[in-house]
Amino acid sequence: MLSHTEENYIKCIYQLSENELTKQVSTNEIADNLETTPASVSDMLKKLTQKNLINYIKYKGVTLSEQGITEALKIIRKHRLWEVFLVKHLNFAWDEVHEVAEQLEHIKSVLLIQRLDEFLDFPKFDPHGDPIPSQDGTIPIVQQIPISEVNIGDHGTVTGVNDASKALLQYLDKVGIQLNSTIEIIDIISFDQSVEIKIDHQKTLFISQEIAKNIYITTI
């Protein structure tokens, strides 16, 4: 059984190497990310090595072991399911959920998470569009493309945003774009590459190329 703190380290290492799990993560990166000192990280890395959760070579950085990845996915699954709950049922805004989910992800009960998953109707993505690992540790892979790279006439549903800044999330709220909104590409303005889209078969809207780059959709 992992301690609260060990879980945080494992999750941190996972996230710092998410795009390529073979990437060597450095002590300083982890220290910055967890807002602690490199000395503390060094100590913890030794401990996690003992528990076979990481592959660690002194001065060379770490990667997660098989077992470490499994643990990381469990934590991330819990985190993202709770985020869905907070947003869908407790009316939290996209940008308010993180701190609370950080705490909820450490609750230990297999039954709880199974039931929560069921209650939420087995969501595949969290409110930021990040995929929710399944109980057996598989991650749904979808072909996500930024709106800036699709063609006129294409359509799909919003499955993610690239930039988690409040400004973008607040803009999206304002114009009525949510996770799972359907998007249809009406026109692409050749002058500035801004895009005219139709949201949920209702209103149309022009978005700048900059914004189009940061909204990901899954075309069907």
Partner DNA sequence: AAAAATAATTAGATTAATCTAAAACATAAT
Partner DNA sequence: ATTATGTTTTAGATTAATCTAATTATTTTT
- Binding of a copy of itself by 111 (CB under 8 A): yes
Q: Interface with a copy of itself includes 92 (CB under 8 A)?
A: yes
86 binds a copy of itself (CB under 8 A): yes
Please state the closest distance from residue 199 (CB atom) to DNA, in A. Answer: 44
Q: Residues 43-82 vs DNA: string with x where CB under 7 A?
A: xxxxx--------x-xx-x---------------------
d(CA 88, CA 140): 20
The size of the interface with DNA (CB under 7 A), counted in residues, is 24
**Cβ partners under 8 Å of residue 156, min gap 6:** 145, 150, 182, 183, 217, 218, 219, 220
Per-residue x/- track, 14-33, DNA (CB under 7 A): ------------xxxx----
**For DNA, the closer CB: 16 or 100:** 16
CA gap 115, 123 in Å, rounded: 12
The string over 46-72, giving b where at least 16 C-beta atoms fall within 10 Å of a residue's C-beta and e elsewhere, is eebbeeebbbbeeeebbbbbeebbebb
Phi, psi of 218 (to 5 degrees): -110, 115
**Residue 89 lies near a copy of itself (rule: CB under 8 A):** yes
Which residues bind to a copy of itself, rule: CB under 8 A? Answer: 86, 89-92, 96, 99-100, 103-104, 107-109, 111-112, 115-116, 118-119
